[in-house]
Amino acid sequence: MPRFFIQTAELDGELVTLHGDDAHHVAYALRLAAGEHISVCCDGVVYDCVLESFSSDKSRPWVTARVCAAAPSDTEPPYEAVLYQALPKGDKLDTIIQKAVECGASRVVPFESSRCIARAKPEAEARKTERRQRIAEEAAKQCGRGMIPEVLPTVTYRDVLERAAGADLVLFCYEGQGTAPLRKTLVERLPNISQDSPRPRIAVIVGAEGGFSPEEAAEAKEKGFEMIGLGKRILRCETAPSFVLSCLSYQYEL
């Protein structure tokens, strides 16, 4: 069933109104008709809605639907995973964001580290962040998330150290010496998570193509972050985030 995300203002009692791109998608891309059903998410609640009416103005489309049933979303993981991803080359970040959303991340924070080849350009940052947020939204719709994960503007490595420090568990992905296996770390640090308990925040920090410098790793270790290894094979920077997030899902959801 097609899924859409709305703000509270678009929900009036049992009536839902979609505007703009969402309305255009319903009427002209999916070619849905009155009487067909769509799924609408708002504030963690999923509404089963039946389409009622459509605007005739293609330049300002709107669609109304009536709520048939409502239930809390059951597609969110029992933890809040925040991915801190060092800027990779080219358009790899687009794929990383898409797959991270599918694998359950609630937020993606790009950052610059010393070994990043790609660098953020201040004059283009707002435009890129807006596009990345659209990628996250489309991925959330496709995979049936109960919320749209947030994509933040690019920050510095120092910012990452400060922000991640507030998490219940910080997984610093490092291919150097002194790491512990991911599974061992999860079992020891977060042995039990359930849908009924408060959602712990898990920060996942992944480097760019060149990984992290020894100095950056030392700073992370001083902060008390968990230095983790991802097995005997070295993963590409666009593979590692999905790998870790998938491991979290296997450990706590499956």
Pair 123, 20 in one domain: no
What residues make up the domain containing 152? 80-252
pLDDT at 9 > cutoff 80: no
| Domain end among 72, 96, 113 | 72
pLDDT tens-digit readout, 16-25: 999 999 999 9
pLDDT confidence of residue 145 = 93
pLDDT tens-digit readout, 195-240: 677 899 999 999 999 899 999 999 999 999 999 999 999 999 999 9
What share of the chain in percent tops pLDDT 70? 100
Pair 125, 197 in one domain: yes
* CB contact set of 184 (below 8 Å; sequence gap of 6+): none
Average pLDDT over residues 149-175: 97
pLDDT confidence of residue 94 = 97
Q: How many domains does the chain have?
A: 2
Q: What is the CATH number of the domain that holds 165?
A: 3.40.1280.10
Pair 89, 128 in one domain: yes
pLDDT confidence of residue 8 = 84
Q: What is the CATH number of the domain that holds 8?
A: 2.40.240.20
- Is residue 54 very low, low, confident or very high in pLDDT (cuts 50, 70, 90)? very high
Pair 91, 49 in one domain: no
| Domain end among 48, 72, 96 | 72
Pair 104, 220 in one domain: yes
Average pLDDT over residues 168-176: 95
- Is residue 93 very low, low, confident or very high in pLDDT (cuts 50, 70, 90)? very high
pLDDT tens-digit readout, 95-146: 999 999 999 999 999 999 999 999 999 999 999 999 999 999 999 999 999 9
pLDDT confidence of residue 107 = 98
pLDDT confidence of residue 193 = 84
Pair 160, 230 in one domain: yes
Pair 150, 212 in one domain: yes
